[in-house]
Structure 1
Amino acid sequence: MPVKVQGEGELNIKKDNLTIHNKIWPSKVSIIVGDLSAEGAGRWGGAVRPFLLATALRQLGIAVEILGFTNDNIPLSIAPEVTIKRFPQTQYPRFLNSARCLIQAIEGDIIYAYKTKASSFGVGLLAKKWYKKPLILDIDDWEMSWHGGDQWRYQPSFRQRYRDLVKPNGALRQPDNPVYLKQMEKRISQADAVTVHTSFLQYKFGGICIPNGKNIHQFNPEKYDSASSRQQFGLEDYKVLMFPGAPRPYKGLEDLLIALEILKQPNLRLVIVGGSPYDDYDQQLHERWGQYIIQLPKLSYEEMPRIVSAADIIVVPQRDTAAAQAQFPLKLTDGMAMAKPILATSVGDIPVILGDTGYIVPPGDSKAMAHKIAEILNNPEAARHKGYRARERCIQHYSIDAMATSLSAQVLHLTGAEKF
């Protein structure tokens, strides 16, 4: 139950840096996630958006539960203080029963839906109506960008529509089919508040921009020895360009690998951490550029600062696509927090996030990438200085503390509480 303050101007309740006067401060927030499987939001443990929101909310003195759907029983590696409730990931019509069970399990005073999906925002709208509780929608991707954007249309023949509805794996039996995604976008105004994490998404959907926060105490270069980390992961003989994420075509790794071909330095390697859970794109990269690639297995969130400490350069070579413009690459703040030189492209908010603390090149320009890689490696002291300024910028603007401060304003707005 929420904390209620009685009386007329007689009693104040303090929550960390917030004083609530004659108002209600929530005791718990329920975050709804459409895919809480080990290959979905659970893939990177505490590194992805819903878990970052949970950490920031907990910093405000608010308990958090995360509810979502999964097709596995693999334990998630996250803080034990966050309650996890998982329900079967099913198709229509059985999905309605899973959604009902999830809604009945909600205990929060505020509902926070992650992504504009029927399996999250759609369930959140039903829960809002059921409980009469405020609903926040968090948008961290333009979901329709994966399906052709605003131009996408569902125009099947009568026979195909029947198949999509009736067959066991019919497209319209999938809760997050683009038909339903478009409907969810039309209902964004029904949320009581909207949070986004890039200017692209803010321009398209409105809301308040709350960039991803990094745990700058965990991602602290003073805790790790770069040489020891290199030795641990077998990288001591190489100059390491690190990509700690899941490769996909729009992330520009092909452009970067062409840059390595241009440089022709035998000790340069692109180190990919984790690989793609979506398709065989990793294999395609290896088939053409295998001599330049070292692939490491997926590591736990707790191990990520150690592997990042082994890098000479963190690379974020995004291509200029709608999907890339909508995203806030977590690899950026991984590198910034660990005071690493960062080579990135001028796509979306990347130039704003880095400011003058990184190395920016045009998207798709392999020659410019090759030039910057050589500049960074040939001027290590200047690169090191830029890396430390990147950490300072991360602490100021992209830490969990900064994220919590921005979130507190949304909580105050929804509850009517006053900040003193």
Structure 2
Amino acid sequence: MMKILLIVFNWVGKGTYWRALKFAEHLCRRGREVTLLATSQHNRIGIEERIINQVRLVETPDLFTGSLRSGWDMWNVCNRIAWLRNHDFDIVHVFEARPVALFPALYMQRIKHISLVMDWADWFGKGGSVEERPNPIIRNILRPVETFFEEHFRTWADGTTVICTTLQQKATELGVPPNTIVMLPNGCDTERFEVIPHQIARRRLHFPHDMLIIGYMGSIFQHDAELMACAFDIICQQIADVRLLVIGYCPIDIRQLVKKPQYVIQTGFIEDEYLNNHLASCDVCWLPFKNTNANKGRWPLKLNDYMAVGRPTIATAVGDVVSLFETEPIGLLAEDNPMSFAEKSMQLLHDSTLRLEMGTHARHVAETRFSWADLTRRLEDLYQYILKTGTK
């Protein structure tokens, strides 16, 4: 039986943890023994182990708290390497290249001679999301550090997985052999999310039945939030009975950016069991991304959740979303300016038949093109290729 180690720097339940967990679960279904190494949400000492859907989840401590648990704590690194000294695997797959994930993976490759696969799911360094940090001092300090860890070790890997074409191109430019690169976008969790009529979802949440609701889920960059707010202001001038539902943790209070804050419902963190109803209560969902490298160098997991619940999406024409929308009628594309985004949104809000057709097709795409089972099969093919050939 193939023994696989997946490593993330994220704490349990945040960010790329979900990408790694879904691959881990489906690898287990294929008869593999999988361990996922992640950061504990709260612990500063002690390593905890538990089983989640056949996956052995190992949670390591971190001295930082909250959002500072972002992959830089050497205490976390030491705990991971100490745990790994007594465990062996056939292959190790590290998700992103911050020290908490990278150093234990390199230990396994260099000291224990285990084949290494590196995943690239976000453009963190120079030109990428580091440029979105509002504090110029922090931005200037982190830029060279993020860039070094993100780029320097890419050619050390025996195989590479990337989430989008922008990062595939960057990996190739860094010297990663193209035959060892596999592009794997995020899949859709059609088991976790189901299609629920929005009237039923709203009744469960005590939301009004006679309103048009636009949904957005998760975190957002400042410039994207400003785009979203301006577009919503334009829509409010044309449609009186509309609401913007901001679902889950969002670092920016959208209500402070719009002219009618009473029309914005911002939930803050909500338990996983309530996500389905919140998403299903929406008539349309939003991806208001500015045309930046940070947005081109990723694949928005929220889009997969929108598709899984069978809701159409209005998205800006940025990154790999463009080719998806051009080949699959799951929503409408707009330019990355408020007027275009608002106009496309109103077009869909005024057409309930088109919303239903696009939402139904979105669920079909979620079940087929973005099946986690199919994506995992492709990932396992890469593992088998690496183990068969030895190295790149």
TM-score by length of 1: 0.77
Matched, 1:182 2:148: yes
Change in CA separation of 1:78 and 1:203 when aligned onto 2, cut-off 3 Å: farther
2:330 equivalent among 340, 355, 358:
358
2:58 corresponding residue in structure 1: 85
What pairs with 1:150-299 in structure 2 (closer than 5 Å)? 178-179=144-145, 181-206=147-172, 207-221=181-195, 224-236=196-208, 237-250=210-223, 252-263=224-235, 264=237, 265-276=239-250, 279=251, 281-282=252-253, 285=256, 289-299=260-270
Q: Secondary structure at the match of 1:34?
A: strand
CA contact (8 A) 2:95 2:101 kept: yes
CA contact (8 A) 2:4 2:92 kept: yes
2:375 equivalent among 403, 408, 417:
403
Q: Secondary structure at the match of 2:368?
A: helix
CA contact (8 A) 1:325 1:347 kept: yes
Distance in 2, matches of 1:395 and 1:76, equals 32
Matched, 1:415 2:387: yes
Amino acid at match of 2:29: Q
Amino acid at match of 1:83: R
Shift of 1:289: 4.8
Q: Secondary structure at the match of 2:52?
A: coil
Matched, 1:34 2:5: no
Change in CA separation of 1:92 and 1:219 when aligned onto 2, cut-off 3 Å: closer
| Residue deviations 1:244-282 (CA, integer Å, cap 9, x gap) | 2123224x2322322232232222111011122xx5x22
Distance in 1, matches of 2:51 and 2:248, equals 18
Identity of aligned residues (%): 21
Matched, 1:123 2:104: yes
Distance in 2, matches of 1:326 and 1:44, equals 15
Matched, 1:369 2:350: no
Shift of 1:319: 0.9
Distance in 2, matches of 1:401 and 1:332, equals 18
1:139 corresponding residue in structure 2: 120
Q: Say which structure, 1 or 2, has more relative contact order (CA 8 Å, 6+ apart).
A: 1
Distance in 1, matches of 2:283 and 2:321, equals 20
Change in CA separation of 1:285 and 1:93 when aligned onto 2, cut-off 3 Å: same
CA contact (8 A) 2:49 2:59 kept: no
Change in CA separation of 1:288 and 1:258 when aligned onto 2, cut-off 3 Å: same
CA contact (8 A) 2:204 2:277 kept: no
Matched positions, count? 357
Question: Could you say which structure has the larger radius of gyration?
Answer: 1
1:388 corresponding residue in structure 2: 360
What pairs with 1:95-114 in structure 2 (closer than 5 Å)? 97-104=78-85, 106-114=87-95
Matched, 1:332 2:303: yes
CA contact (8 A) 1:45 1:78 kept: no
1:345 corresponding residue in structure 2: 316
Amino acid at match of 2:32: I
2:37 corresponding residue in structure 1: 67
TM-score by length of 2: 0.82
Q: Secondary structure at the match of 1:131?
A: coil
1:379 corresponding residue in structure 2: 351
Distance in 2, matches of 1:212 and 1:197, equals 7
Shift of 1:181: 4.7
CA contact (8 A) 2:50 2:57 kept: no
Matched, 1:320 2:291: yes
Change in CA separation of 1:391 and 1:92 when aligned onto 2, cut-off 3 Å: closer
2:175 corresponding residue in structure 1: none
CA contact (8 A) 2:233 2:258 kept: no
| Residue deviations 1:65-106 (CA, integer Å, cap 9, x gap) | 111334614999993422121222247764553242243254
Amino acid at match of 2:23: L
Distance in 2, matches of 1:235 and 1:45, equals 31
Amino acid at match of 2:214: L
